[in-house]
Amino acid sequence: MKSTKGSLKSVKLTCRVGCTGLFLGLVISGPWAIAADKEEVAGRQGQKTYAVSMGDSYIAGEGGRWKGNSNREQSLFSWARQADQDLTDRVKLDKRKISEIYNNTWDDEGCHRSDSAEIFGALRPSAWPDKAKAPGILRVDPEPDKAKDDAKLVDNVVNIACSGAETKDFSQRFKGEQPQIKQLKDLLDKRNRETLSTVFVSVGGNDLNLSGVATDCATRWFKGWLASSCQADDKVKNAVDSRIKDLKSKIMKTVGLIQGALLDGPERSRGARIVIQSYPNPVVGQSKIRFHNFGYQRYAYCGAPFNNETLEFLRDTSKKLDDMYFEVAKEMNADSKKGAKANISFLSLRKLFDGHEVCSTDSVSAIKEQVSAGKAEWARYVYGASREIPLVGKIIGVKAEEVQESLHPNFYGQQALQYCARTFLRRSELSAGHPLPAPPLYAECVGRKGLNPEKVTVGTRS
């Protein structure tokens, strides 16, 4: 595929489906090509490159254990949980230990970095580990010219994101680890002969206490008519709106810390692109929810304990967050003092799970057999509400770390995230042989009903 300066032709890519069922096609548009100085290009030829992911659970890989959802897990009885284990759990399906899936970071105080985390999609094909060691990584190269595609992707990736991290944890120790900025600086020092091309950043959800908001909304749903919905409670809405407003300055400060680390690092990495990400929306709107607004089927059968008003409230919150992150990228690029030394791009993920949300009529839960990625839900359903019921939680053995996976990208969702990251890197042409810094990109990944992760579209966010 040939690019044109200032634009990128729409391209349809096809290939055979590999063991993870990825890479069938995509359509991309936008100003993705960059000009290159011949001497600078020549100087970068042969250099090894790498990409880094920083932030919280969504980019760390939380939820990567599950291939979709079953519709029987929500029973209080442990024998009825078998469908989840038989039909969706990679521990059984892939014959892997939880410690292997989460790279020895699986416990209540662990960072939950899974083997299918988004950043692995950035690896060039020749750098992919053996299937037995990393079955969650993309396996198939969609480019007709594999050697050319291989030359445009990074050699290595590093995931320093951690489940539960807030913006403050970029500058302070968290879960026994060094501050993420300190870890980035150490990487730059250690890999001073390599070029850092891209830093993917996903953070802010924990600053907003989104898990707490979702828990509150679910609790209100269980109370039924005895409690108002989140949407109807002005205190909840106003608190979330206020936190989003405050979060904007925190995100700018965090990005500034990353810029500072890059400027203090090796010259070859000072122009690395910083990519601010939003979050995939895991819940469906009221028009496509599988069960009606009354009764407990939404939770019992598909793990979505929210009424119609709450569903719209959560989706609206997702949109507000997406818009805020986009504003941060644009404003920091426009500000010469904040954006001159490092290019800040934005990757919108809000629509990535479209057609694959939890409890959507467009997706399917596993009942008697496994569900393919194209039909499955791409986020882990709300799990473990029964853990809060006295004695019951202890009887069925629901663990805190399992509850944390709720509403996070599952294995299929992370495959879609990998595809977005890989496509972003390929189209931005950030690697050996291409100049840094490159112009900022504003991109958007969008999913669709019935399509596999490799068929999500990646275009320009406007």
Q: Which amino acid is at 203?
A: V
Quick one: pLDDT at residue 282? 96
Q: 265 — phi, psi (to 5°)?
A: -90, -170
Q: Is 302 exposed, middle or buried (0-12, 13-18, 19+ CB in 10 A)?
A: buried
- Whether the pLDDT of residue 134 is over 90: the answer is no
Quick one: pLDDT at residue 4? 37
pLDDT average, residue stretch 412-424: 92
- Whether the pLDDT of residue 357 is over 90: the answer is yes
Of residues 228 and 341, more confidently modeled? 228
Q: How far is CA 410 from CA 24, 61, 333, in A?
A: 20, 8, 33
For the chain, what percent of residues have pLDDT higher than 70?
72
Quick one: pLDDT at residue 329? 95
Of 134-148, 200-214, 327-341, 421-435, least confident by mean pLDDT is: 134-148
- Whether the pLDDT of residue 453 is over 90: the answer is yes
Of residues 170 and 429, more confidently modeled? 170
Highest mean pLDDT among 290-294, 311-315, 390-394 belongs to 311-315
Quick one: pLDDT at residue 215? 84
Quick one: pLDDT at residue 129? 45
Judge if the upstream peptide bond of residue 437 is cis by omega within 30 degrees of 0. yes
Of 39-48, 57-66, 248-257, 290-299, least confident by mean pLDDT is: 39-48
- Whether the pLDDT of residue 287 is over 50: the answer is yes
What does the pLDDT look like over 387-406, one tens digit per residue?
Answer: 444 333 443 445 555 778 99
Neighbours of 178 (CB within 10 A): 14
Spell out the SS3 assignment of the chain.
Answer: CCCECCECCCCCCCCCCCCCCCCCCCCCCCCCCCCCCHHHHHHHCCCCEEEEEEECHHHHCCCCCECCCECCCCCCCHHHHHHHHHHCEHHHHCCCCHHHHCCCCCCCCCCCCCCCCHHHHHECHHHCCCCCCCCCCCCCCCCCCHHHHHHCCECEEEECCCCCCCHHHHCCCECCECCHHHHHHHHHHHCCCCEEEEEEEECCCCCCCHHHHHHHHHHHHHHHHHCCCCCCCHHHHHHHHHHHHHHHHHHHHHHHHHHHHHHHCCHHHCCCEEEEECCCCCECCHHHECCCCCCCHHHHHHCCCCCHHHHHHHHHHHHHHHHHHHHHHHHHHHCHHHHCCCCEEEEECCCCCCCCCECECCCECECCCCCCCCCECCECCCCCHHHHCCCHHHHHCCCHHHHHCCCCECHHHHHHHHHHHHHHHHHHCCCCCCCCCCCCCEEEEECCCCCCHHHCEEEECC
What does the pLDDT look like over 200-230, one tens digit per residue?
Answer: 999 999 999 998 888 888 888 877 766 677 8
Q: How confident is the model at residue 128 (pLDDT cuts 50, 70, 90)?
A: very low
Quick one: pLDDT at residue 53? 98
pLDDT average, residue stretch 265-269: 92
Q: How many residues does the chain have?
A: 462
- Whether the pLDDT of residue 43 is over 80: the answer is no
For the chain, what percent of residues have pLDDT higher than 90?
50
Neighbours of 155 (CB within 10 A): 20
- Residue 289 contacts residue 212 (beta carbons within 8 Å): no
Quick one: pLDDT at residue 293? 81
What does the pLDDT look like over 93-118, one tens digit per residue?
Answer: 999 999 999 988 888 789 999 999 99
Quick one: pLDDT at residue 81? 58
Quick one: pLDDT at residue 341? 56
Q: Over the chain, what is the mean pLDDT?
A: 78
Q: Is 116 exposed, middle or buried (0-12, 13-18, 19+ CB in 10 A)?
A: buried
Of 1-10, 46-55, 420-429, least confident by mean pLDDT is: 1-10
- Whether the pLDDT of residue 238 is over 60: the answer is yes
Quick one: pLDDT at residue 39? 37
The pTM assigned to this predicted structure is 0.82
Of 73-82, 146-155, 366-375, least confident by mean pLDDT is: 73-82
